[in-house]
């Protein structure tokens, strides 16, 4: 569906770069990035992800740049703690919106965990959240720095996730985990990813890696008991905080 948005806006000097954060590398994500026929995906996915009927009907495999970041470098540089998150960068290389949910709504708490069905009212909210983000992207592509969705530099700095001591230590554990995983030492690798989760419990990227490195889980949906236990532990806190457009001019 982002391909439909890309086709619509690419003539306006607009680019999309998608980055998958997977320690397991190509085996974990290639099929998802280069699906031979997106029409084979169930319409249920559209409800879960909040895509409108109009954009869902225009789905296609991506022609924009798709990268696999086994080292989580992009996530660390831009303060990304979940996927999908987006960062807006202008032609001068300046961040005009830091990492935030890229149109994803907080569906997980309302989902039937066996059938993946969600109530109609929640699905409608998801479409509203998705459309709000996509329309903001459209406005930015068309109006550049004049877009009301472009944040002033002071607000960008305020919203950016600066590295704290525990973030640096967690990143070190992740590096050790990746090194051990490459050496085939799965148990020790998972220990270090779990330590990273303990230090940075809001990083779903770290949590996802700690859960999904076993050979039978690589490339599978992160939807096991560990994931749902963590979602339940959020309480009233959202899994996907919506993008904050409160400063729209």
Residue 243 lies in a domain: no
Q: Whole-angstrom Cα distance, residue 221 to residue 148?
A: 36
* Long-range pairs of 12-17 with CB within 8 A, sequence gap ≥ 24: 12/141, 12/142, 13/91, 13/141, 14/141, 15/64, 15/65, 16/62, 16/64, 16/65, 17/64, 17/65, 17/66, 17/67
DSSP 115: T
The verdict on 89 and 45 lying in the same domain is yes
**Quick one: pLDDT at residue 249?**
72
The verdict on 130 and 194 lying in the same domain is no
CATH classification at residue 38: 3.40.30
The verdict on 34 and 135 lying in the same domain is yes
Note down pLDDT in tens along the chain; length 249 residues: 899 999 999 999 999 999 988 887 777 776 554 444 445 556 777 788 888 888 888 888 899 999 999 888 899 899 999 999 999 999 999 999 999 999 998 888 888 888 888 899 999 999 999 999 999 999 999 999 999 999 999 999 999 977 889 999 999 999 999 999 999 999 999 999 999 999 999 899 999 888 888 887 777 777 788 888 898 999 989 988 889 998 877
Domain that holds residue 124: 2-159
CA angle 122, 128, 132 (to 5 degrees): 150
Q: Whole-angstrom Cα distance, residue 175 to residue 93?
A: 27
């Amino acid at each position: 569906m982002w391909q439909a948005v890309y086709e619509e806006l690419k003539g306006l000097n607009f680019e999309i770069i998608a980055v998958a954060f997977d320690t397991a590398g190509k085996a974990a994500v290639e099929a998802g990035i280069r699906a031979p026929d997106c029409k084979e995906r169930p319409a249920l996915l559209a409800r879960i992800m909040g895509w409108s009927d109009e954009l869902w009907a225009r789905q296609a495999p991506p022609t924009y740049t798709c990268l696999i970041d086994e080292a989580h470098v992009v996530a660390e540089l831009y303060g990304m703690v979940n996927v999908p998150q987006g960062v807006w960068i202008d032609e001068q290389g300046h961040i005009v919106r830091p990492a935030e949910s890229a149109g994803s709504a907080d569906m997980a708490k309302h989902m039937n965990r066996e059938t993946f069905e969600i109530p109609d009212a929640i699905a409608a909210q998801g479409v509203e959240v998705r459309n709000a983000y996509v329309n903001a992207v459209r406005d930015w592509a068309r109006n550049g720095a004049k877009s009301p969705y472009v944040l002033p530099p002071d607000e960008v700095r305020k919203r950016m996730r600066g590295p704290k001591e525990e973030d640096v230590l967690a990143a070190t554990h992740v590096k050790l985990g990746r090194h051990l995983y490459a050496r085939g030492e799965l148990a020790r690798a998972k220990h270090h990813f779990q330590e990273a989760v303990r230090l940075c419990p809001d990083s779903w990227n770290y949590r996802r890696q700690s859960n999904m490195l076993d050979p039978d889980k690589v490339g599978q949906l992160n939807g096991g008991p560990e994931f749902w236990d963590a979602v339940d532990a959020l309480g009233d806190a959202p899994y996907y905080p919506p993008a904050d457009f409160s400063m729209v001019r």
